[in-house]
Amino acid sequence: MLPRGEMTERDLRTKRWKRTEYERLVDNGIFVPGERIELIDGLLVVAEPQSSLHFAAVRLVERALARAFGEGWDVRAQGPIALDDTSEPEPDVAVVRGELRDYLDAHPADPVLVVEVSLTSLEFDRVHKSSLYARAGRPEYWIVNLVDRVVEVRRAPAPAASAPYGWDYTTVEILSPGEDARPLAAPGTHITVLDLLP
């Protein structure tokens, strides 16, 4: 029996946020500048602080993808994506059509490639982020796995009852440092996995 006045997690009431509500909070300066918060399926999630290794990997991925995709594409590092009505994640890198000025009035909603660099967040990125991006129909999701020094290429989103958000990717290819990654949206390009790893 709990002492009088103590609550369990089941007793707590939470509020699920819509993306438009979350954006109003951001616009009104509710969060401290530089505070790393993402809206994930209606919940505000605080991102872990970045190590120098993680940040270096993000920059390497950003550079490699910018070279591979070239003109007509915006490669965005740690920028918000208007994924759906209840989610506005800030993936480590996302590739969207167009250029930076195309997104002055609203965050992009349709990335062709989403990349998370994983060191301490590997399990969350494999389970929750994978399910979230699959539910939104993102055709390709990469995890730059710094723990095992591989790139996990996830494709073909489909319903999956056991996934946290009801969807996941049906194919996962593990690429080692000696192999090349080939983005679906830039099929003529080859990105050496070593170029993505610090």
Q: Is 8 exposed, middle or buried (0-12, 13-18, 19+ CB in 10 A)?
A: exposed
Question: Across-strand partners of 141?
Answer: 114, 154
Per-residue model confidence (pLDDT) at position 150: 98
Per-residue model confidence (pLDDT) at position 180: 96
Buried b vs exposed e over 144-163: b needs ≥16 C-beta within 10 Å?
Answer: bbbeeebbbbbbebeebeeb
Domains in the chain, number = 1
Any domain includes 84: yes
Least confident range of 54-58, 104-108, 130-134: 104-108
Q: What is the pLDDT of residues 68-124, one digit of tens each?
A: 999 999 999 999 999 988 888 999 999 999 988 888 898 999 999 999 999 989 999
**Are the C-beta atoms of residues 189 and 69 closer than 8 Å to each other?**
yes
Any domain includes 106: yes
CATH number of the CATH domain containing 66: 3.90.1570.10
- Mean pLDDT, residues 157-181: 97
Q: What is the pLDDT of residues 6-19, one digit of tens each?
A: 656 566 676 787 87
pLDDT band at 137 (very low <50, low <70, confident <90, very high): very high
- Mean pLDDT, residues 150-165: 97
Query: What's this model's pTM, rounded to 2 decimal places?
Result: 0.84
Any domain includes 94: yes
Any domain includes 89: yes
Any domain includes 159: yes
Alpha-carbon gap, residue 182 to 179, rounded angstroms: 10
Per-residue model confidence (pLDDT) at position 194: 97
Q: What is the pLDDT of residues 91-106, one digit of tens each?
A: 999 999 998 888 889 8
Any domain includes 138: yes
Any domain includes 43: no
| First-last CA distance in the chain | 51
Phi, psi of 39, deg, nearest 5: -95, 115
For residue 162, the enclosing domain spans 49-196
Per-residue model confidence (pLDDT) at position 36: 76
